[in-house]
């Protein structure tokens, strides 16, 4: 059996990794990664073949800009998605051309709704719902927005390191970064900080805080999650892995600059489910208070959604 999985960057790649960890040794896998996304490729290449397909739209891009890129991605998908029994669409507009290709080639299609969507479905999954064989949901509350979906549970990665307390605050904004968050944290007098900036320039933070550990990307990001005392991140899959994989207290700071993300109501629901602290006003004072509050909290535990979904994939194939 051969399974294709879209690893579309950020949390979408995280879903791909979580599924691949449970499917390893059971099926052959090929991963569909955005062109130029070497981070995603490095995360999934140990599980199977990697092919590249263009991503039409970023979180800040206007809709009109993506049309020619989408057509090119569809052409690439028609050439590269072949000899596959099941395709797993992990979300993002990047998964759309491979998913449409799967439908045209009569390949079984499973679409995964994001773990941070509660109020309305993501655009990609809403569009894929009519052509999908299975819509995989991560929370029971998502049945309200996708009634035909099947609840499998949250998709979190298996731990690569044993959790320990390195007494540092880990701050991250995902693949694209979160400059508003980073600038506010930079105003604090915190000495022990690990900052992952993504596509935001790390130089200003390195110069201002030579005592911090600052980097753009690290494919071995699990080691930083494992040692953090608190994880501060945007509304995305990092907070899921921090809380459920490594059992770390979490501060959620949504990025108001993003056009394609979930909203504040979604963030409030997720914060309750993870026993996390939500920051709604990004200021140094509110961040410091949130970090201190989070240190007193412990995240809950949930069933392994990725393991359940892996069984569904094998049965469907």
* Alpha carbon distance 12, 95 (integer Å): 9
Structure confidence by residue, pLDDT tens digits, 31-64: 999 999 998 999 999 999 999 999 987 666 666 6
Of 205, 138, 134, 146, give the one whose Cα is nearest residue 171: 205
Chain segment 209-253, per-residue pLDDT in tens: 999 999 999 989 999 999 999 999 999 999 999 999 999 999 999
* % the chain with pLDDT above 90: 87
Going from the C-alpha of 111 to that of each of 12, 133, 304, the distances in angstroms are: 11, 8, 18
Tokens encoding 314 = 């094998």
**CB atoms < 10 A from the CB of 188, how many?**
15
Q: What is the side-by-side order of every strand in the sheet holding 213-215?
A: 213-215, 193-196, 168-172, 228-233, 250-252, 277-278
Domain 168-294 sits in CATH 3.40.50.10310: no
Nearest to 55 by CA among 97, 112, 106: 97
Contacts of 316 (CB under 8 A, 6+ apart): 86, 108, 110, 133, 134
- Give the pLDDT score at 58: 65
For the domain covering 2-154+304-316, report its CATH number.
3.40.50.2000
Q: Where in the chain is the domain with CATH 3.40.50.2000?
A: 2-154+304-316, 168-294
Q: What is the Cα–Cα distance from 198 to 182, expressed in whole angstroms?
A: 11
The torsion of the CA quartet 159, 165, 169, 173, rounded to 10 degrees, works out to 0
Written as six digits, the tokens of 26 are 């059971």
Tokens of residue 57, six digits: 């739209």
Q: What confidence tens digit (pLDDT) does each residue in 249-305 have?
A: 999 999 988 754 668 999 999 999 999 999 999 999 999 999 999 999 999 999 999
Q: How many helices (H) and strands (E) does the chain have?
A: 12, 13
Distance in angstroms (rounded) separating the CA atoms of residues 148 and 99: 18
Per-residue pLDDT, averaged over 164-170, amounts to 96
Instruction: Band the pLDDT of 68: cuts 50, 70, 90.
Output: confident
What DSSP line would sit under 49-73, residue for residue?
EEEEE-----TT--GGGGHHHHHHH
Taking the C-alpha atoms of residue 191 and residue 302, their distance in angstroms, rounded to an integer, is 33
Bridge partners (DSSP) of residue 4 are 30, 87
Instruction: For residues 248 and 164, give the distance between their C-alpha atoms in angstroms, rounded to a whole number.
Output: 10
What's the confidence (pLDDT) of residue 156?
A: 97
HSE at residue 244, side-chain half, CA atoms within 13 A, is 24
């Amino acid at each position: 059996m051969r399974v294709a999985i879209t690893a579309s960057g950020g949390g979408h790649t995280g879903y791909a990794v979580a599924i691949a960890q449970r499917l390893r040794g059971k099926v052959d896998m090929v991963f569909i990664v955005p062109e130029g996304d070497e981070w995603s490729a490095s995360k999934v290449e140990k599980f199977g073949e990697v092919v590249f397909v263009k991503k039409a739209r970023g979180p800040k891009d206007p809709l009109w800009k993506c049309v020619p890129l989408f057509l090119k991605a569809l052409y690439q998908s028609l050439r590269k998605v072949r000899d596959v029994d099941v395709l797993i669409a992990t979300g993002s507009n990047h998964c759309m051309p491979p998913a449409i290709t799967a439908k045209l080639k009569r390949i079984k299609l499973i679409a995964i709704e994001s773990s941070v969507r509660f109020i309305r479905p993501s655009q990609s999954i809403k569009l894929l719902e009519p052509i999908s064989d299975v819509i995989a949901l991560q929370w029971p509350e998502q049945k309200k927005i996708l009634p035909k979906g099947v609840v499998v549970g949250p998709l979190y990665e298996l731990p690569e390191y044993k959790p320990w307390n390195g007494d540092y605050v880990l701050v991250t904004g995902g693949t694209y970064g979160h400059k508003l968050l980073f600038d506010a944290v930079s105003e604090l007098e915190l000495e022990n900080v690990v900052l992952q900036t993504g596509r935001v320039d790390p130089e200003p933070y390195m110069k201002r805080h030579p005592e911090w550990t600052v980097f753009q990307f690290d494919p071995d990001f699990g080691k930083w999650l494992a040692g953090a005392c608190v994880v501060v991140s945007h509304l995305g899959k990092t907070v899921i892995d921090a809380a459920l994989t490594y059992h770390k207290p979490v501060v959620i700071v949504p990025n108001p600059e993003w056009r394609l993300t979930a909203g504040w109501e979604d963030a409030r629901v997720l914060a309750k489910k993870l026993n996390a602290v939500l920051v709604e006003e990004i200021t140094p004072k509110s961040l410091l208070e949130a970090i201190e509050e989070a240190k007193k909290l412990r995240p809950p535990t949930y069933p392994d959604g990725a393991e359940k979904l892996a069984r569904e994939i094998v049965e469907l194939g």
